Structure 1
Amino acid sequence: MASELRKIGVSDDCELAVRIDDYLLPWDIKPPVVMLHGLAESGEAFRRWVPYFATHHLVVRPDLRGYGDSTPMQGDYVYRFAGLGDDVIRLLDALKLDRVFLVGGKIGGTLAMHLAANYPDRVIALAAVGAPASLTSFSERAPTWRKQIREQGVEAWVRETTTGRLGSSLPLAVLDWWIRLMSKTQASTLEAFLKMVPTVDVIPELPRIKRPTLVITTTGSGLGSVDSVKAWQETIPGSTLEVLPGDSYHVAATDPDVCARLVRTFFDRLKT
Protein backbone atom coordinates (compact mmCIF):
# COMPACT_ATOMS: atom_id res chain seq x y z
CA MET A 1 0.00 0.00 0.00
CA ALA A 2 1.17 3.56 -0.69
CA SER A 3 -1.49 6.23 -0.10
CA GLU A 4 -5.16 5.59 0.56
CA LEU A 5 -8.18 7.80 1.26
CA ARG A 6 -10.75 6.36 3.65
CA LYS A 7 -14.01 7.63 5.14
CA ILE A 8 -14.64 6.80 8.80
CA GLY A 9 -17.78 7.63 10.74
CA VAL A 10 -17.04 9.35 14.05
CA SER A 11 -20.61 10.39 14.87
CA ASP A 12 -24.12 10.21 13.46
CA ASP A 13 -23.61 13.46 11.57
CA CYS A 14 -20.01 13.22 10.39
CA GLU A 15 -17.63 11.05 8.44
CA LEU A 16 -13.96 12.01 8.60
CA ALA A 17 -11.87 11.58 5.49
CA VAL A 18 -8.38 10.35 6.30
CA ARG A 19 -5.32 9.95 4.11
CA ILE A 20 -3.14 7.03 5.13
CA ASP A 21 0.40 6.94 3.78
CA ASP A 22 2.13 3.59 4.11
CA TYR A 23 5.58 2.91 2.64
CA LEU A 24 6.64 0.69 5.53
CA LEU A 25 8.91 -2.32 5.51
CA PRO A 26 7.88 -4.84 8.17
CA TRP A 27 11.30 -5.00 9.87
CA ASP A 28 11.65 -1.26 10.49
CA ILE A 29 8.35 0.17 11.73
CA LYS A 30 8.01 2.97 14.26
CA PRO A 31 4.76 4.21 15.84
CA PRO A 32 2.23 6.08 13.65
CA VAL A 33 2.35 9.84 13.10
CA VAL A 34 -0.97 11.69 13.02
CA MET A 35 -0.92 15.12 11.40
CA LEU A 36 -3.63 17.65 12.32
CA HIS A 37 -4.24 20.57 9.98
CA GLY A 38 -5.37 24.12 10.66
CA LEU A 39 -8.29 26.39 9.84
CA ALA A 40 -9.69 26.08 6.29
CA GLU A 41 -7.31 23.28 5.32
CA SER A 42 -7.27 19.50 5.02
CA GLY A 43 -4.81 16.68 5.48
CA GLU A 44 -3.28 17.78 2.18
CA ALA A 45 -1.68 20.65 4.10
CA PHE A 46 0.98 18.14 5.17
CA ARG A 47 1.64 16.69 1.71
CA ARG A 48 5.24 17.93 1.72
CA TRP A 49 5.83 16.39 5.16
CA VAL A 50 4.90 12.84 4.21
CA PRO A 51 8.24 11.76 2.65
CA TYR A 52 10.08 12.59 5.88
CA PHE A 53 8.03 10.10 7.90
CA ALA A 54 6.28 7.53 5.71
CA THR A 55 9.24 5.17 5.27
CA HIS A 56 9.25 4.33 8.99
CA HIS A 57 5.88 5.52 10.31
CA LEU A 58 2.33 5.00 9.19
CA VAL A 59 1.26 8.58 8.41
CA VAL A 60 -2.35 9.47 9.15
CA ARG A 61 -3.69 12.79 7.83
CA PRO A 62 -7.35 13.33 8.75
CA ASP A 63 -9.56 16.07 7.39
CA LEU A 64 -11.03 17.51 10.57
CA ARG A 65 -14.79 17.75 10.98
CA GLY A 66 -16.23 19.90 8.19
CA TYR A 67 -13.03 20.20 6.17
CA GLY A 68 -11.59 18.68 3.02
CA ASP A 69 -13.43 15.50 2.07
CA SER A 70 -15.06 15.14 5.50
CA THR A 71 -18.76 15.89 5.95
CA PRO A 72 -19.36 19.68 5.67
CA MET A 73 -20.98 21.30 8.68
CA GLN A 74 -24.00 23.60 8.48
CA GLY A 75 -23.61 27.21 9.54
CA ASP A 76 -25.68 26.67 12.68
CA TYR A 77 -23.63 23.66 13.80
CA VAL A 78 -22.12 24.22 17.25
CA TYR A 79 -18.45 23.27 17.19
CA ARG A 80 -16.83 22.27 20.48
CA PHE A 81 -13.05 22.23 20.63
CA ALA A 82 -13.12 19.21 22.92
CA GLY A 83 -15.42 17.58 20.38
CA LEU A 84 -12.71 17.86 17.74
CA GLY A 85 -10.46 15.97 20.12
CA ASP A 86 -13.15 13.33 20.60
CA ASP A 87 -13.31 12.92 16.82
CA VAL A 88 -9.57 12.23 16.67
CA ILE A 89 -9.76 9.65 19.45
CA ARG A 90 -12.68 7.89 17.72
CA LEU A 91 -10.64 7.89 14.51
CA LEU A 92 -7.66 6.31 16.29
CA ASP A 93 -9.98 3.69 17.76
CA ALA A 94 -11.46 2.90 14.35
CA LEU A 95 -7.97 2.52 12.86
CA LYS A 96 -6.87 0.44 15.87
CA LEU A 97 -4.03 2.85 16.64
CA ASP A 98 -3.15 2.74 20.31
CA ARG A 99 -0.35 5.28 20.84
CA VAL A 100 0.76 7.83 18.25
CA PHE A 101 3.02 10.77 17.61
CA LEU A 102 1.03 13.98 17.00
CA VAL A 103 1.97 16.83 14.68
CA GLY A 104 -0.28 19.89 14.43
CA GLY A 105 -0.13 23.08 12.42
CA LYS A 106 -1.92 26.26 13.55
CA ILE A 107 -5.09 25.29 15.44
CA GLY A 108 -4.20 21.67 14.66
CA GLY A 109 -1.23 22.18 16.96
CA THR A 110 -3.53 23.62 19.61
CA LEU A 111 -5.63 20.47 19.25
CA ALA A 112 -2.52 18.29 19.57
CA MET A 113 -1.70 19.98 22.88
CA HIS A 114 -5.28 19.47 24.09
CA LEU A 115 -5.09 15.78 23.21
CA ALA A 116 -1.74 15.31 24.94
CA ALA A 117 -3.11 16.91 28.10
CA ASN A 118 -6.36 14.97 28.16
CA TYR A 119 -5.48 11.63 26.54
CA PRO A 120 -1.88 11.05 27.69
CA ASP A 121 -2.13 7.30 27.20
CA ARG A 122 -2.73 7.81 23.46
CA VAL A 123 0.13 10.25 22.78
CA ILE A 124 3.84 9.36 22.65
CA ALA A 125 5.07 12.87 21.84
CA LEU A 126 3.87 15.93 19.96
CA ALA A 127 4.97 18.83 17.82
CA ALA A 128 2.96 22.08 17.82
CA VAL A 129 4.04 23.98 14.72
CA GLY A 130 2.98 27.63 14.42
CA ALA A 131 0.27 26.89 16.96
CA PRO A 132 -1.41 29.36 19.33
CA ALA A 133 -2.17 28.23 22.88
CA SER A 134 -5.06 30.69 23.05
CA LEU A 135 -7.29 32.13 20.33
CA THR A 136 -9.31 34.47 22.55
CA SER A 137 -7.68 37.43 20.77
CA PHE A 138 -9.73 36.50 17.68
CA SER A 139 -12.96 37.71 19.31
CA GLU A 140 -13.02 40.75 16.98
CA ARG A 141 -11.45 39.24 13.87
CA ALA A 142 -13.62 36.12 13.70
CA PRO A 143 -16.97 37.95 13.28
CA THR A 144 -15.39 40.20 10.64
CA TRP A 145 -14.11 37.18 8.75
CA ARG A 146 -17.52 35.50 8.95
CA LYS A 147 -19.16 38.62 7.50
CA GLN A 148 -16.62 38.80 4.66
CA ILE A 149 -17.11 35.12 3.83
CA ARG A 150 -20.89 35.52 3.75
CA GLU A 151 -20.70 38.59 1.50
CA GLN A 152 -17.70 37.85 -0.74
CA GLY A 153 -17.10 34.10 -0.51
CA VAL A 154 -14.35 31.92 0.88
CA GLU A 155 -11.72 32.64 -1.77
CA ALA A 156 -11.89 36.42 -1.27
CA TRP A 157 -11.31 35.92 2.46
CA VAL A 158 -8.43 33.51 1.88
CA ARG A 159 -6.73 35.89 -0.55
CA GLU A 160 -7.06 38.88 1.76
CA THR A 161 -5.67 37.04 4.79
CA THR A 162 -2.92 35.05 3.07
CA THR A 163 -0.10 37.55 3.59
CA GLY A 164 -0.60 37.55 7.35
CA ARG A 165 -0.80 33.76 7.37
CA LEU A 166 2.04 32.87 5.00
CA GLY A 167 4.25 35.95 5.22
CA SER A 168 6.37 37.38 2.42
CA SER A 169 8.83 34.60 1.54
CA LEU A 170 6.83 32.28 -0.72
CA PRO A 171 6.75 32.45 -4.54
CA LEU A 172 3.46 33.13 -6.28
CA ALA A 173 2.98 29.52 -7.39
CA VAL A 174 3.12 28.31 -3.79
CA LEU A 175 0.71 31.01 -2.60
CA ASP A 176 -1.70 30.05 -5.38
CA TRP A 177 -1.58 26.38 -4.30
CA TRP A 178 -2.45 27.31 -0.71
CA ILE A 179 -5.20 29.68 -1.81
CA ARG A 180 -6.77 26.92 -3.93
CA LEU A 181 -6.49 24.41 -1.09
CA MET A 182 -8.09 26.66 1.52
CA SER A 183 -10.76 28.00 -0.83
CA LYS A 184 -12.23 24.50 -1.16
CA THR A 185 -13.60 24.84 2.37
CA GLN A 186 -17.39 25.17 2.54
CA ALA A 187 -18.58 28.60 3.69
CA SER A 188 -21.02 26.96 6.09
CA THR A 189 -18.20 25.08 7.83
CA LEU A 190 -16.25 28.31 8.32
CA GLU A 191 -19.35 30.13 9.58
CA ALA A 192 -19.73 27.49 12.30
CA PHE A 193 -16.03 26.98 13.03
CA LEU A 194 -15.22 30.67 13.36
CA LYS A 195 -17.89 31.02 16.03
CA MET A 196 -15.89 28.57 18.12
CA VAL A 197 -12.40 29.92 17.44
CA PRO A 198 -12.39 32.79 19.99
CA THR A 199 -13.39 30.36 22.75
CA VAL A 200 -10.29 28.17 22.31
CA ASP A 201 -7.74 28.45 25.12
CA VAL A 202 -5.59 25.50 26.18
CA ILE A 203 -3.20 27.49 28.40
CA PRO A 204 -4.71 26.00 31.61
CA GLU A 205 -4.15 22.51 30.20
CA LEU A 206 -0.48 22.91 29.28
CA PRO A 207 1.06 22.04 32.68
CA ARG A 208 -0.74 18.68 32.46
CA ILE A 209 1.16 17.68 29.32
CA LYS A 210 3.63 15.01 30.39
CA ARG A 211 4.73 13.90 26.94
CA PRO A 212 7.81 15.19 25.08
CA THR A 213 6.75 18.36 23.29
CA LEU A 214 8.36 20.41 20.52
CA VAL A 215 7.02 23.90 19.83
CA ILE A 216 8.07 25.68 16.62
CA THR A 217 7.44 29.35 15.93
CA THR A 218 8.95 32.19 13.88
CA THR A 219 10.63 35.46 14.78
CA GLY A 220 7.79 37.47 13.23
CA SER A 221 4.71 35.33 13.84
CA GLY A 222 1.45 37.26 13.76
CA LEU A 223 0.08 34.93 16.44
CA GLY A 224 2.47 36.17 19.09
CA SER A 225 6.03 37.30 19.78
CA VAL A 226 8.75 34.81 20.58
CA ASP A 227 8.60 35.93 24.20
CA SER A 228 4.84 35.34 24.41
CA VAL A 229 5.17 31.88 22.87
CA LYS A 230 8.06 31.06 25.21
CA ALA A 231 5.93 32.12 28.18
CA TRP A 232 3.31 29.41 27.55
CA GLN A 233 5.74 26.86 26.10
CA GLU A 234 7.74 26.87 29.33
CA THR A 235 4.64 25.78 31.27
CA ILE A 236 4.80 22.45 29.41
CA PRO A 237 7.20 20.36 31.50
CA GLY A 238 10.42 19.53 29.68
CA SER A 239 9.26 21.02 26.36
CA THR A 240 11.56 22.37 23.64
CA LEU A 241 11.19 25.58 21.64
CA GLU A 242 12.60 26.09 18.13
CA VAL A 243 12.47 29.57 16.58
CA LEU A 244 12.86 29.95 12.82
CA PRO A 245 13.43 33.23 11.00
CA GLY A 246 10.46 34.62 9.08
CA ASP A 247 7.22 36.58 9.17
CA SER A 248 4.84 33.66 8.65
CA TYR A 249 2.74 32.22 11.43
CA HIS A 250 1.97 29.11 9.37
CA VAL A 251 5.54 27.87 9.47
CA ALA A 252 4.48 24.28 8.74
CA ALA A 253 3.48 25.58 5.30
CA THR A 254 6.22 28.11 4.59
CA ASP A 255 9.12 25.98 5.87
CA PRO A 256 7.88 22.39 5.54
CA ASP A 257 11.27 20.80 4.92
CA VAL A 258 12.98 22.50 7.83
CA CYS A 259 10.07 21.82 10.18
CA ALA A 260 9.65 18.20 9.11
CA ARG A 261 13.36 17.52 9.68
CA LEU A 262 13.22 19.13 13.12
CA VAL A 263 10.17 17.09 14.09
CA ARG A 264 11.55 13.83 12.67
CA THR A 265 14.82 14.35 14.57
CA PHE A 266 12.90 15.14 17.76
CA PHE A 267 10.77 12.00 17.47
CA ASP A 268 13.74 9.80 16.50
CA ARG A 269 15.57 10.67 19.71
CA LEU A 270 12.79 9.25 21.84
CA LYS A 271 12.61 5.69 23.09
CA THR A 272 9.23 4.24 22.17
Structure 2
Amino acid sequence: MVVPAALRALYGDLMILVHDAVGAAESPAVVLLHAGVADRRMWDAVVPSLQHRFRVVRPDLRGYGESPLSLDDADGGGYTNAGDVAALLDELGIEDAAVVGASFGGQVALELATAHPARVRELVLLCPAAPGVPDTAASDAFDAAEHRLLSDGDVEGAVRLNVDTWLGPDADEDTRTALAAMQRRAFEVQLAADAAASAAGEPEPGPREVEIDLPGVKVPTYVVSGAHDMDLLRACAAHVAAQVPGAEHTVLGWAGHLPVLERPDAVRALLLDVLRDDPTVHAP
Protein backbone atom coordinates (compact mmCIF):
# COMPACT_ATOMS: atom_id res chain seq x y z
CA MET A 1 0.00 0.00 0.00
CA VAL A 2 1.04 3.63 -0.42
CA VAL A 3 2.30 5.09 2.85
CA PRO A 4 1.27 8.74 3.41
CA ALA A 5 4.08 11.28 3.21
CA ALA A 6 3.39 12.49 6.77
CA LEU A 7 3.99 8.99 8.13
CA ARG A 8 7.18 8.63 6.09
CA ALA A 9 8.45 11.89 7.55
CA LEU A 10 7.68 10.67 11.07
CA TYR A 11 8.82 7.04 10.90
CA GLY A 12 11.10 6.70 7.84
CA ASP A 13 10.80 4.13 5.04
CA LEU A 14 8.08 1.98 6.53
CA MET A 15 5.40 -0.43 5.42
CA ILE A 16 2.06 -1.31 6.93
CA LEU A 17 2.84 -4.73 8.34
CA VAL A 18 0.62 -7.69 7.57
CA HIS A 19 -1.37 -8.21 10.75
CA ASP A 20 -4.47 -9.50 12.50
CA ALA A 21 -6.59 -7.20 14.67
CA VAL A 22 -9.46 -8.63 16.74
CA GLY A 23 -11.59 -7.51 19.66
CA ALA A 24 -13.71 -4.43 20.19
CA ALA A 25 -12.22 -1.22 18.80
CA GLU A 26 -13.01 0.61 22.05
CA SER A 27 -11.18 -1.93 24.23
CA PRO A 28 -7.62 -1.30 25.50
CA ALA A 29 -5.13 -2.38 22.85
CA VAL A 30 -2.57 -5.16 23.23
CA VAL A 31 0.14 -5.66 20.61
CA LEU A 32 1.81 -9.10 20.36
CA LEU A 33 5.32 -9.10 18.82
CA HIS A 34 6.66 -12.49 17.79
CA ALA A 35 10.06 -14.09 18.29
CA GLY A 36 12.75 -14.10 15.61
CA VAL A 37 12.24 -17.82 15.02
CA ALA A 38 8.49 -17.44 14.51
CA ASP A 39 5.79 -15.15 13.18
CA ARG A 40 2.38 -13.95 14.31
CA ARG A 41 1.07 -17.52 14.38
CA MET A 42 2.98 -18.16 17.60
CA TRP A 43 0.19 -16.33 19.47
CA ASP A 44 -2.67 -18.49 18.12
CA ALA A 45 -3.41 -20.18 21.44
CA VAL A 46 -3.68 -16.97 23.50
CA VAL A 47 -5.51 -14.59 21.16
CA PRO A 48 -9.05 -15.99 21.62
CA SER A 49 -8.93 -15.40 25.39
CA LEU A 50 -7.28 -11.97 25.14
CA GLN A 51 -9.73 -10.63 22.57
CA HIS A 52 -12.63 -10.81 25.01
CA ARG A 53 -11.05 -8.02 27.08
CA PHE A 54 -8.65 -6.30 24.68
CA ARG A 55 -8.23 -5.18 21.11
CA VAL A 56 -5.47 -7.59 20.08
CA VAL A 57 -3.08 -6.72 17.27
CA ARG A 58 -0.42 -9.15 16.09
CA PRO A 59 1.77 -8.22 13.12
CA ASP A 60 4.31 -10.13 11.14
CA LEU A 61 7.46 -8.04 11.43
CA ARG A 62 9.27 -7.27 8.20
CA GLY A 63 10.88 -10.43 6.81
CA TYR A 64 8.65 -12.83 8.74
CA GLY A 65 5.41 -14.63 7.93
CA GLU A 66 3.55 -12.62 5.31
CA SER A 67 5.42 -9.31 5.67
CA PRO A 68 8.01 -9.04 2.87
CA LEU A 69 11.64 -8.00 2.86
CA SER A 70 13.04 -6.39 -0.28
CA LEU A 71 15.97 -4.56 -1.83
CA ASP A 72 14.37 -1.34 -0.60
CA ASP A 73 15.07 -2.54 2.95
CA ALA A 74 18.86 -2.33 2.62
CA ASP A 75 20.89 -2.58 5.83
CA GLY A 76 21.34 0.83 7.42
CA GLY A 77 18.48 2.26 5.38
CA GLY A 78 15.42 4.14 6.42
CA TYR A 79 13.22 1.70 8.31
CA THR A 80 13.10 0.47 11.89
CA ASN A 81 10.94 -2.27 13.34
CA ALA A 82 9.72 0.19 15.98
CA GLY A 83 8.72 2.64 13.26
CA ASP A 84 6.79 -0.08 11.45
CA VAL A 85 4.87 -0.93 14.64
CA ALA A 86 4.14 2.73 15.40
CA ALA A 87 2.87 3.22 11.85
CA LEU A 88 0.61 0.19 12.24
CA LEU A 89 -0.87 1.70 15.41
CA ASP A 90 -1.56 4.89 13.45
CA GLU A 91 -3.16 2.88 10.65
CA LEU A 92 -5.48 1.23 13.19
CA GLY A 93 -6.25 4.43 15.09
CA ILE A 94 -4.64 3.15 18.29
CA GLU A 95 -3.13 5.82 20.54
CA ASP A 96 -1.25 3.50 22.89
CA ALA A 97 -1.04 -0.18 23.74
CA ALA A 98 0.29 -2.73 26.15
CA VAL A 99 3.06 -4.42 24.18
CA VAL A 100 3.88 -8.10 24.67
CA GLY A 101 7.14 -9.13 23.04
CA ALA A 102 8.76 -12.56 22.84
CA SER A 103 12.54 -12.84 22.32
CA PHE A 104 13.40 -10.61 19.33
CA GLY A 105 9.88 -9.19 19.67
CA GLY A 106 10.81 -8.15 23.21
CA GLN A 107 13.74 -6.18 21.83
CA VAL A 108 11.43 -4.51 19.30
CA ALA A 109 9.05 -3.67 22.15
CA LEU A 110 11.92 -1.97 24.00
CA GLU A 111 12.88 -0.10 20.82
CA LEU A 112 9.27 1.11 20.55
CA ALA A 113 9.26 2.22 24.19
CA THR A 114 12.48 4.16 23.57
CA ALA A 115 11.73 5.70 20.17
CA HIS A 116 7.96 6.19 20.57
CA PRO A 117 7.31 6.17 24.34
CA ALA A 118 3.84 7.67 24.11
CA ARG A 119 2.66 4.62 22.17
CA VAL A 120 3.51 2.12 24.95
CA ARG A 121 1.27 1.82 28.02
CA GLU A 122 2.86 -1.32 29.49
CA LEU A 123 5.50 -3.90 28.57
CA VAL A 124 5.39 -7.66 29.01
CA LEU A 125 8.66 -9.20 27.84
CA LEU A 126 8.89 -12.98 27.43
CA CYS A 127 12.55 -14.07 27.36
CA PRO A 128 13.54 -10.83 25.62
CA ALA A 129 16.66 -10.19 23.60
CA ALA A 130 18.37 -7.01 24.78
CA PRO A 131 21.47 -4.88 24.23
CA GLY A 132 24.41 -4.65 26.59
CA VAL A 133 24.79 -8.37 27.36
CA PRO A 134 27.95 -10.13 26.09
CA ASP A 135 27.73 -13.26 23.98
CA THR A 136 28.42 -16.61 25.63
CA ALA A 137 30.12 -19.80 24.48
CA ALA A 138 26.68 -21.34 23.94
CA SER A 139 25.38 -18.45 21.85
CA ASP A 140 28.59 -18.31 19.80
CA ALA A 141 28.33 -22.05 19.13
CA PHE A 142 24.71 -21.71 18.04
CA ASP A 143 25.52 -18.80 15.71
CA ALA A 144 28.43 -20.71 14.16
CA ALA A 145 26.35 -23.85 13.63
CA GLU A 146 23.46 -21.94 12.05
CA HIS A 147 25.83 -20.00 9.77
CA ARG A 148 27.52 -23.21 8.65
CA LEU A 149 24.24 -24.95 7.87
CA LEU A 150 22.86 -22.01 5.91
CA SER A 151 26.14 -21.52 4.04
CA ASP A 152 25.94 -25.18 3.00
CA GLY A 153 22.37 -24.72 1.81
CA ASP A 154 21.00 -26.99 4.53
CA VAL A 155 17.94 -24.96 5.46
CA GLU A 156 16.20 -27.96 7.00
CA GLY A 157 19.22 -28.56 9.22
CA ALA A 158 19.11 -24.92 10.33
CA VAL A 159 15.40 -25.24 11.04
CA ARG A 160 16.02 -28.33 13.21
CA LEU A 161 18.84 -26.54 15.03
CA ASN A 162 16.54 -23.65 15.93
CA VAL A 163 13.70 -25.90 17.04
CA ASP A 164 16.04 -27.98 19.20
CA THR A 165 17.69 -24.88 20.69
CA TRP A 166 14.74 -22.68 21.46
CA LEU A 167 11.97 -25.02 22.61
CA GLY A 168 11.99 -26.23 26.19
CA PRO A 169 11.30 -29.76 27.47
CA ASP A 170 7.52 -29.29 27.65
CA ALA A 171 7.12 -28.74 23.90
CA ASP A 172 5.29 -31.61 22.19
CA GLU A 173 5.73 -32.81 18.61
CA ASP A 174 2.89 -30.63 17.27
CA THR A 175 4.57 -27.58 18.77
CA ARG A 176 7.91 -28.54 17.24
CA THR A 177 6.23 -28.94 13.85
CA ALA A 178 4.51 -25.55 14.15
CA LEU A 179 7.72 -23.77 15.11
CA ALA A 180 9.59 -25.48 12.28
CA ALA A 181 7.03 -24.15 9.79
CA MET A 182 7.42 -20.59 11.09
CA GLN A 183 11.22 -20.71 11.14
CA ARG A 184 11.31 -22.26 7.66
CA ARG A 185 9.12 -19.44 6.36
CA ALA A 186 11.41 -16.81 7.90
CA PHE A 187 14.44 -18.41 6.25
CA GLU A 188 12.64 -18.52 2.90
CA VAL A 189 11.74 -14.83 3.01
CA GLN A 190 15.09 -13.61 4.33
CA LEU A 191 17.36 -15.81 2.23
CA ALA A 192 15.48 -14.87 -0.94
CA ALA A 193 15.88 -11.17 -0.09
CA ASP A 194 19.58 -11.69 0.67
CA ALA A 195 20.10 -13.49 -2.64
CA ALA A 196 18.36 -10.71 -4.58
CA ALA A 197 20.50 -8.10 -2.82
CA SER A 198 23.68 -10.04 -3.59
CA ALA A 199 22.76 -10.37 -7.27
CA ALA A 200 22.15 -6.61 -7.43
CA GLY A 201 25.37 -5.77 -5.58
CA GLU A 202 23.37 -4.27 -2.70
CA PRO A 203 23.74 -4.75 1.08
CA GLU A 204 21.61 -7.41 2.73
CA PRO A 205 18.21 -6.03 3.75
CA GLY A 206 17.68 -5.20 7.40
CA PRO A 207 16.47 -2.54 9.82
CA ARG A 208 18.28 0.52 11.03
CA GLU A 209 19.49 0.05 14.60
CA VAL A 210 17.58 1.74 17.42
CA GLU A 211 19.58 2.42 20.56
CA ILE A 212 17.52 1.22 23.52
CA ASP A 213 17.47 3.29 26.70
CA LEU A 214 16.53 0.79 29.41
CA PRO A 215 16.70 3.23 32.36
CA GLY A 216 14.55 5.61 30.32
CA VAL A 217 11.64 3.14 30.07
CA LYS A 218 8.96 4.64 32.29
CA VAL A 219 6.04 2.22 31.94
CA PRO A 220 5.15 -0.83 34.03
CA THR A 221 7.36 -3.65 32.82
CA TYR A 222 7.00 -7.35 33.53
CA VAL A 223 9.87 -9.62 32.46
CA VAL A 224 9.63 -13.39 32.16
CA SER A 225 12.53 -15.79 31.66
CA GLY A 226 12.76 -19.56 31.31
CA ALA A 227 14.97 -21.70 33.52
CA HIS A 228 15.78 -23.93 30.51
CA ASP A 229 16.58 -21.04 28.17
CA MET A 230 20.08 -20.40 26.77
CA ASP A 231 22.36 -18.64 29.25
CA LEU A 232 22.61 -15.53 27.06
CA LEU A 233 18.85 -15.05 27.01
CA ARG A 234 18.52 -15.65 30.74
CA ALA A 235 21.15 -12.93 31.21
CA CYS A 236 19.27 -10.61 28.84
CA ALA A 237 16.06 -10.97 30.85
CA ALA A 238 17.87 -10.34 34.13
CA HIS A 239 19.64 -7.32 32.63
CA VAL A 240 16.39 -5.78 31.42
CA ALA A 241 14.70 -6.36 34.77
CA ALA A 242 17.64 -4.76 36.60
CA GLN A 243 17.90 -1.74 34.30
CA VAL A 244 14.24 -0.79 33.76
CA PRO A 245 13.01 1.14 36.80
CA GLY A 246 10.48 -0.85 38.83
CA ALA A 247 10.46 -3.87 36.52
CA GLU A 248 9.19 -7.19 37.86
CA HIS A 249 10.94 -10.44 36.92
CA THR A 250 9.54 -13.96 37.04
CA VAL A 251 11.54 -17.09 36.23
CA LEU A 252 9.42 -19.98 34.92
CA GLY A 253 11.08 -23.16 36.16
CA TRP A 254 9.55 -25.30 33.41
CA ALA A 255 10.17 -23.00 30.45
CA GLY A 256 12.70 -22.80 27.65
CA HIS A 257 12.88 -19.79 25.36
CA LEU A 258 9.32 -19.84 24.00
CA PRO A 259 6.94 -20.45 26.92
CA VAL A 260 3.85 -19.34 24.99
CA LEU A 261 4.38 -22.32 22.67
CA GLU A 262 5.52 -24.72 25.39
CA ARG A 263 2.67 -24.20 27.88
CA PRO A 264 0.13 -21.90 26.23
CA ASP A 265 -2.43 -22.36 29.02
CA ALA A 266 0.02 -21.12 31.66
CA VAL A 267 1.11 -18.13 29.59
CA ARG A 268 -2.48 -17.30 28.65
CA ALA A 269 -3.33 -17.09 32.36
CA LEU A 270 -0.18 -15.08 33.11
CA LEU A 271 -0.92 -12.55 30.35
CA LEU A 272 -4.53 -12.11 31.40
CA ASP A 273 -3.48 -11.58 35.00
CA VAL A 274 -0.69 -9.12 34.23
CA LEU A 275 -2.60 -7.16 31.60
CA ARG A 276 -5.67 -6.90 33.84
CA ASP A 277 -3.34 -5.51 36.51
CA ASP A 278 -4.41 -7.90 39.25
CA PRO A 279 -1.45 -7.86 41.68
CA THR A 280 -2.59 -10.99 43.50
CA VAL A 281 -2.11 -13.28 40.52
CA HIS A 282 1.18 -12.31 38.90
CA ALA A 283 2.64 -15.74 39.62
CA PRO A 284 2.77 -18.37 36.84
- Compute the TM-score of the two structures, normalised by the length of structure 1: 0.80
Question: Could you tell me whether the CA contact under 8 Å between 1:158 and 1:183 is conserved in 2?
Answer: yes
Cα distance in 1 between the residues matched to 2:36 and 2:119: 24
Among 63, 70, 74, which residue is 1:73 paired with?
Answer: 70
C-alpha change, 1:252 and 1:223, in structure 2 (3 Å) is: farther
- Structure 2 stretches lacking a partner, 5+ long: 195-202, 279-284
**Residue pairs, 1:96-175, within 5 angstroms:** 96-134=93-131, 137=135, 141-142=142-143, 144-175=145-176
Question: Could you tell me whether the CA contact under 8 Å between 1:103 and 1:126 is conserved in 2?
Answer: yes
**Residue pairs, 1:1-272, within 5 angstroms:** 14-22=15-23, 24=24, 29-73=26-70, 77-78=74-75, 83-134=80-131, 137=135, 141-142=142-143, 144-187=145-188, 189=190, 205-224=213-232, 229-246=237-254, 248-269=256-277
Give the structure with the higher percent strand. 1
Cα distance in 2 between the residues matched to 1:151 and 1:216: 35
Cα shift at 1:64:
0.3
Post-superposition Cα deviations, 1:207-252, rounded to whole Å, max 9, x if no partner, equal: 1110000100112210437566334312111111111113511223
RMSD (CA atoms): 3.4
Cα distance in 2 between the residues matched to 1:42 and 1:99: 22
Cα distance in 1 between the residues matched to 2:184 and 2:176: 12
Partner of 1:68, secondary structure, is: coil
Cα shift at 1:82:
7.3
Question: Could you tell me whether the CA contact under 8 Å between 1:166 and 1:248 is conserved in 2?
Answer: yes
Cα shift at 1:74:
5.1
Cα distance in 2 between the residues matched to 1:107 and 1:16: 16
Give the paired residue count.
258
State percent identity of aligned pairs: 23
- Compute the TM-score of the two structures, normalised by the length of structure 2: 0.77
Cα shift at 1:60:
0.6
- The aligned amino acid for 1:177 is A
C-alpha change, 1:77 and 1:40, in structure 2 (3 Å) is: farther
